[in-house]
Amino acid sequence: MRPAALAVLVLLLAGCARAAPIETGSAAAAMPRAASDPQVERGRYLALVADCAPCHVGAHGEPYGGGRAIPTPFGTLRASNLTPDPVTGIGAWTDQEFARAVRDGVGRRREHLYPAMPYPYYTRMPAEDVAAIRAFLATIAPVSHAVEANQLPFPFRIRSLVGVWNRLYFRPGTYVVNAGASAQWNRGAYLVEGPGHCGACHTPKSRLGGDDGTRMLAGAALDGWFSPDLRDGERTGLGTWSAAELADYLRSGTNAHSAASGPMAEVITESTAAMSDPDIDAIVVYLRSRKEAAGPHATPPPPDARTLEAGRSIYADACAPCHGEDARGVLHLFPPLRDNPVVQSDDPVTLIRVVLHGTQNAATDRAPTGPSMPSFGWKLDDGEVAAVLSYVRSSWGNTAAAVTPKSVASSRHSKAP
């Protein structure tokens, strides 16, 4: 949307947002439940599946204390305080107000919430699941921490604009069971499309930040990373992964094909590594049913000979000691670079970021080492980073486009991780 049109839209909508009276009713915090209550335990697990804790962590690490910066393409938001503090948290909220925020994206005063809080996915959760999460949050230690969530620049800070976004992209309603699929498939679909909100990172977005429903889970760039394709493609998707390998990745953060780093490392350590085996298996069944759109892959032209030679030399010096001369890596330590979906993604931003800034792999009970990769940004200039990545993306059977020095420079001068 052009700035002028957006400004007109703001003027039209600014007067439409009216404060509504706060609903009265008993708040969950008024009658806290024991942590051993079955509903509380169910809510604890569902909050883990929904990956709530990492975003809503407090300024000093307090569980659900709020304040973490959430970068978006339109500016920064801060996650709210979800503890039962009655003034700065949700202790005075009714169960109905909480459910409306989670499932409809509407705050206590009827204000629109921004979809960085993934209510377009949480809307698929049934009322009993949301109520269980609410019961669990009522047992969290209260934290007095006022959070100004909306730190977006004008005009995006005008919340009434979200109403227009909702009409374009938000489809409220609980998950509908696919009668033609198994119970396990349906459980996996519910977890991925609902509380797990995988598409929030892995589905391509429009210019306004809405999901492209025609390319669900096809991979997307977000905050300087590229979340890879989760469909069954063999080059850039998960088509070469067995069911056991995909399950192993979700449980441990590593397998014979890849190692979780960046935002996915946090998803593994804070969510999937602690999920039940039946739920992990259900997710695997669902993801393996996602089909890549048919069509031939157009092999890009290889880098020029000078670039290849420079990249080969840099790889031998800086990369081969860990990833191997044959790029097969070391199982559970250094991921292979051949036949790696991330390496062959259309958008190389993750590779560029990792080479420039380094990264830390996930550390879990099943794979506790959590090896890291050092930064090479201090050592390699933009042309050298482009050369080595172009070499990697076109060697050992990889077929991906060359990386340009301009792309490296853009990533180097953007916000560091």
**H helix or E strand, kind and range, residue 220:** strand 220-222
Domain for residue 143, yes or no?
yes
Domain for residue 113, yes or no?
yes
Here the CATH number for the domain that contains residue 393 is 1.10.760.10
How do the residues of the chain divide into helix, strand and coil, expressed in percent and rounded to 5?
40, 10, 55
Domain for residue 292, yes or no?
no
Q: What percent of the chain has pLDDT over 70?
A: 90
Residue ending a domain, among 169, 203, 222, is 169
How much is the average pLDDT of 226-252?
A: 93
pLDDT attached to residue 9: 34
Question: How many other CB atoms sit within 10 Å of the CB of residue 23?
Answer: 13
DSSP 275: S
Residue ending a domain, among 145, 169, 193, is 169
CA distances from 36 to 140, 141, 323 (A): 13, 15, 47
- Answer whether residue 141 shows pLDDT above 90: yes
pTM of the model: 0.89
CA distances from 241 to 22, 51, 102, 231, 386 (A): 50, 24, 34, 11, 28
Q: Please give the single-letter amino acid code of residue 74.
A: F
DSSP 29: G
pLDDT attached to residue 370: 86
The total of structural domains in the chain comes to 2
Q: Give the pLDDT band of residue 406 (cuts 50, 70, 90).
A: very high
How much is the average pLDDT of 349-362?
A: 94
CA distances from 393 to 148, 258, 278, 301, 356 (A): 43, 15, 36, 11, 16
pLDDT attached to residue 33: 56
Question: How far is residue 250's CA from residue 277's CA, in Å, rounded to a whole number?
Answer: 10
Q: Residue 294 burial (CB < 10 Å; 0-12/13-18/19+)?
A: exposed
Q: Residue 63 burial (CB < 10 Å; 0-12/13-18/19+)?
A: middle
The pLDDT tens digits for 44-82 are 999 999 999 999 998 889 999 998 988 888 888 899 999
Domain for residue 300, yes or no?
no
Domain for residue 149, yes or no?
yes
- Answer whether residue 32 shows pLDDT above 90: no
Q: Give the pLDDT band of residue 26 (cuts 50, 70, 90).
A: very low
Question: How far is residue 221's CA from residue 27's CA, in Å, rounded to a whole number?
Answer: 40
Question: How far is residue 159's CA from residue 60's CA, in Å, rounded to a whole number?
Answer: 28
φ, ψ (nearest 5 deg) of residue 106:
-125, 125
Structural domain of 407: 305-412
Domain for residue 364, yes or no?
yes
Domain for residue 131, yes or no?
yes
Spatial contact of 360 and 417, defined as CB atoms under 8 Å apart: no
Q: What angle do CA 404, 407, 408 make, to 5 degrees?
A: 90
| Residue 237 in tokens | 């998707």
Domain for residue 288, yes or no?
no
pLDDT attached to residue 152: 83
How much is the average pLDDT of 317-330?
A: 95
DSSP 3: H
- Answer whether residue 322 shows pLDDT above 60: yes
Residue ending a domain, among 169, 202, 224, is 169
The pLDDT tens digits for 74-97 are 888 899 999 999 999 999 999 999
Q: What angle do CA 377, 381, 386 make, to 5 degrees?
A: 95
Question: How far is residue 166's CA from residue 162's CA, in Å, rounded to a whole number?
Answer: 6
